[in-house]
A and B are shown apart, each in its own frame.
Chain A
């Protein structure tokens, strides 16, 4: 057996035997099955009753060249017995399946943290590809850490030998071996994962299931038999205190899809999704494509423009039109968004934001499409913009998007991002009976004389009537050309254009009366500093504000869901603080909107590295703002 090699025993910075939370990062080649390992470990963590947050971080290439640093795929999970808001700043444990994975991820590791490395993969070729001259497992590079170097490749091959797989297929089970060891480290039940492997691979091959289970069990057994005195220790994390209820883990992709279906049911409409494949939005299309029994029709269009246009067509015909994409795709949809605004039809547009501009960083996260959402169209073209702050929140926000779209006959842009879309967290499953329905009524009363005006409006909300083609006596024409306020016919009249532009703006502005007032997520409604965020930065800001408050700092956290129109009390609320800090994963977009709308001196704090904020980064920015 390979001997575990312990380096400097820096005991004073070792994690406590029973820590409240652990941050673990799995890293390896993009072909190593790191994402699968991570999601399986997540499931096990959830079933053990720990709170958790994950951060899958993978390259854009499907199979980048083996062993290279740019081909490294990683999966980070923060789990524990306390409330977990983020995937964690600094890993305590790094599972490195090759030299490149070590090279890329070592800098993030906590000094004194534990490295479990597959020594079998640290051969000359892989070392060279990763840019190491000497083997870091042997040259003292890892002195500040605890190291367990194992020939996982060989151990895995030994374990799967009885199943009779080829060497190549056998090595594919390496990650399962590592997962087995990780399960032992945190005293987890293996059975749910074995069941899950059976479901996943069972149909393909019994051999594959047997090999993966054998590798998993071998990794676990290795831990059980590890010698006392090595850094491999078993750690038990008590389960987290969580609100009573039924839980499951979800990613933002799943909850957006489920929320859209829930919204369509609350509206009493069939759902039509027109979409074109794009990273990181495609999982929503994949999920909805399977839900035909929920009156869901999905259509993979020939391009982004056809995707939104088909959704507009479906809304015109009386269904709930939805389109999903990411920044570059939303750019292509711009003109059609204008058409939906002009013809005042309901439409939900989901933008799973990624690094930009242009193709940018397709698999990395950013929130730099706020300007695009709020301002990015020709003409005065207002619509509704809302944002989700976490995978769980996506469910609620998707329902809200549907509600606003149908109640105000308007397109609604729902912003999530690559982080929320892929990250998993426990979700307290809601009871749909608790949601208030908002059934749609189509207009079907033919006028006793004259023609119907399709642009006749509800005096309170200013929304126009929705007439389904097929309704007798109400034939009419709509389109992208300006329409007469009073008849709905084409009108080039200047006073009418002024009136219609004003009306479209007033309709969207007026939605502020029908959305909740802005609350304070943590802290007071006035004071020295407000940290204002939106979207996926919620967890990092919440943690940072909590830490500074624990030290007596006068800081509060405000997290904005409704970005356009903004909540009616937001301006007054922000003016109750001496200073306003706006952390964003862009160069300061909400900051601009807040300054413009409220003439306040909102200060930006920005990061555009494709990675989420670390809590410590925001904490430092808060301290600076308070100084």
Chain B
């Protein structure tokens, strides 16, 4: 066997000093990504991290791969050019709720519908951090911030619902501190051909501390997190509770098993390819329901970059690349001293 160089997470750490606030959730996500890259056997030179603007978008500087820190919201568009120019590159887009869903919402929509083969890591901290704390499109209604001193009256966007609506074929969720689970999800995202959309809840310790405490806090976690696994019943709270589909209202409901088997209790089995159930899982309101985490939806379809390359190949096949001939195609005439000849 050829000796494939074994990389560790440390090999994917760049020499740049990380400049996020102490205690920022981004540190844990960075670690998870570096671990994932090592575990999936990524090649440094073949990996490209592309970001926009915001705290999350500083990410490429800290990863020892190729990286492009672009402009606000435009990472998906830059990534599209990179991937169409060289489909062999493994492209990771790193963005946030403001970058990816506000100023760059249009690009995100079209990236997802086209299904470019890349990973999108959307760090959702429900706030604008780098610009010092304004509310974001995912901030909850009533959010007090410097730009909404009396509370926001906007209705928030649900990133995964947006992705599903845009036609995403891979949707997953995790949160910053779930370091034991995130690498596995990222590995799945990487393996998926097409745009893999991963929302990662991320705590902003300065401007929105505790935003996800309700389900990410140590005490709340077991009862409020539903980690989805394909083919497995949707159980949480240590297996004591599960989700069932009420077939009259077409709504999910939480069921206590009370010693019953999941089958007997009518607990749903996770089918990653079912986008109706995916929508219900994504929309579950925190509090009454657990938060759906893990791979929510995975239903592969042809990737855009592959389709473009394939059409380029097919149309070009058998045609000569002779530009001089192309210039002379069609109706021409020649002038040679006194001789004039039309070639229509």
CA A319 to CA B308, docked complex, whole Å: 15
B46 within 8 A of A: yes
In the bound complex, residues from chain B placing their C-beta under 8 Å from that of A472 are 45
Our pick among A243, A315, A475 for the contact of B66 (Cβ within 8 Å) is A475
Please tell me if the beta carbons of B80 and A192 are within 8 angstroms of each other in the complex.
no
Give every chain B residue within 8 A of A433 (Cβ-Cβ).
324
From A72-80, A290-298, A599-607, give the one contacting chain B. Answer: A290-298
Q: Is the interface of A mostly helix, strand, loop or mixed?
A: mixed
Of all chain B residues, the one with the shortest Cβ separation from A265 is B323
Contact between chains at B331 and A293 (CB < 8 Å): no
Contacting pair A339 B70 (CB below 8 A): yes
Contact bitstring B327-344, A, C-beta under 8 A = 1, else 0: 110111111110010101
Give Cα A294–Cα B61 distance, bound, in whole angstroms. Answer: 36
* Residue among B44, B68, B85, B321 with the highest chain A CB neighbour number at 10 A: B85
Which residues of A from 441 to 485 have beta carbons under 8 Å from B?
A: 451, 468-481
Within 8 Å of chain B (Cβ to Cβ): is A21?
Answer: no
Contact B82 A316 (CB under 8 A): yes
Smallest distance from the beta carbon of A280 to chain B beta carbons, Å?
22
Indicate if B3 sits at the interface (CB-CB under 8 A). no
Task: Encode A357-396 as 1/0 by CB contact (under 8 A) with B.
Answer: 0000000000000000000000000000000000000000
Name the residue on A nearest B344 (C-beta).
A192
CB distance A475 to B64 under 8 Å? yes
A266-324 at interface with B (beta carbon < 8 Å): 270, 272, 274, 291-295, 297, 299, 301-303, 305-307, 309-319, 321
Q: B321, A471: Cβ atoms under 8 Å?
A: no
Stretch at the interface among B71-79, B184-192, B281-289: B71-79
Which of A196, A245, A270, A469 has the largest number of chain B CB atoms within 10 A? A469
Asked if A490 is at the interface (CB within 8 A of a chain B CB), the reply is: yes
The number of residues on chain A lying at the interface, defined by a beta carbon within 8 Å of a beta carbon of chain B, is 78
A593 smallest CB distance to B (angstroms):
28
A270 surroundings in chain B (CB, below 8 A): 85
A235→B198 CA distance, assembly (Å): 73
Report the bound CA distance from A491 to B342 in whole Å.
Answer: 63
B106 at the interface (CB under 8 A from A): yes
In Å, the complex CA distance between A246 and B325 comes to 12
B312 on interface, CB distance cutoff 8 Å = yes
How far is A307 from B65 in the complex, measured between Cα atoms in Å? 25
Give 1 or 0 for each of B66-109: 1 = CB within 8 Å of chain A CB.
Answer: 11111110101111111111101100000000000000001101
Q: Are A293 and B319 in contact (CB under 8 A)?
A: yes
Which residues of the other chain, A, contact B66 by a CB distance below 8 angstroms? 469-470, 475-477
Say which residue of B76, B82, B89, B328 sits within 8 Å of A429 (CB atoms).
B328
- Given the interface pairs A316-B81, A317-B89, A474-B45, the reply to whether A481 lies near B328 with Cβ below 8 Å is no
B residues 105-129 with Cβ under 8 Å of A?
A: 106-107, 109-110
Q: Which residues of A contact B (CB under 8 A)?
A: 43, 46-49, 189, 191-192, 195-196, 239, 242-249, 258, 261-262, 265, 270, 272, 274, 291-295, 297, 299, 301-303, 305-307, 309-319, 321, 335-336, 338-339, 343, 429-433, 451, 468-481, 489-490
Counting from the closest, the 9 A-B pairs by CB-CB distance are A313-B81, A479-B69, A192-B344, A309-B77, A310-B81, A477-B67, A317-B85, A306-B77, A293-B319
Other A-B pairs, 9, CB within 8 Å; known A244-B334, A317-B82: A299-B81, A309-B81, A309-B107, A317-B89, A339-B71, A469-B46, A470-B86, A475-B45, A477-B67
